[in-house]
Structure 1
Amino acid sequence: MPWNKQEYPPSMKNLDARVRNKAIEIANALLEEDYEEGRAIATAKAEEWDQNHPQDE
């Protein structure tokens, strides 16, 4: 089931909105490739992305 900004896994609930949106994007891409652990991977990758892409730029 693809996720969106209104419906996403509970594990993403406490993420900053910017990071959560990226995690949703990553998780949906992983789901398309049949990854079962997509949520955990997506959360970690979104947090890594956030660190590498500061909002001030």
Structure 2
Amino acid sequence: MKWTIENFPMEMQALPAIVREKAIEIANRMKKEKSVNELAIVEEAIRQAEEWFLNKEK
């Protein structure tokens, strides 16, 4: 199942909207590319989205 702005993992709930949107995008891409469990995908997507946001601010 593809995650959306309305339907995403609860681990992403506390993220700012812009970071959550990027994390959803990354997680959906990772789900297509990798065969690891969803929790690992969510954690990595959040990490990458937060890094993306911090780099965006520079």
In the superposition, the TM-score normalised over structure 1's length comes to 0.89
- Aligned Cα RMSD in Å? 1.3
What displacement does 1:35 show?
3.2
Q: 2:45 aligns with which of 34, 42, 51?
A: 42
TM-score normalised by the chain length of structure 2: 0.88
Residue correspondences, number = 55
Query: Relative to total residues, which structure has the larger helix share, 1 or 2?
Result: 2
Query: How far apart, CA to CA, are the structure 1 residues paired with 2:27 and 2:43?
Result: 9
Unaligned runs of 5+ in 2: none
Q: State the Cα deviation string for residues 5-49 of structure 1 (Å, max 9, x = none).
A: 000000000000000000000000000013322100000000000
Distance 1:31 1:11 in 2: 16
Mapping for residues 13-24 of structure 1, pairs under 5 Å: 13-24=13-24
Query: Moved runs in structure 1, 4+ residues, more than 2 A?
Result: none
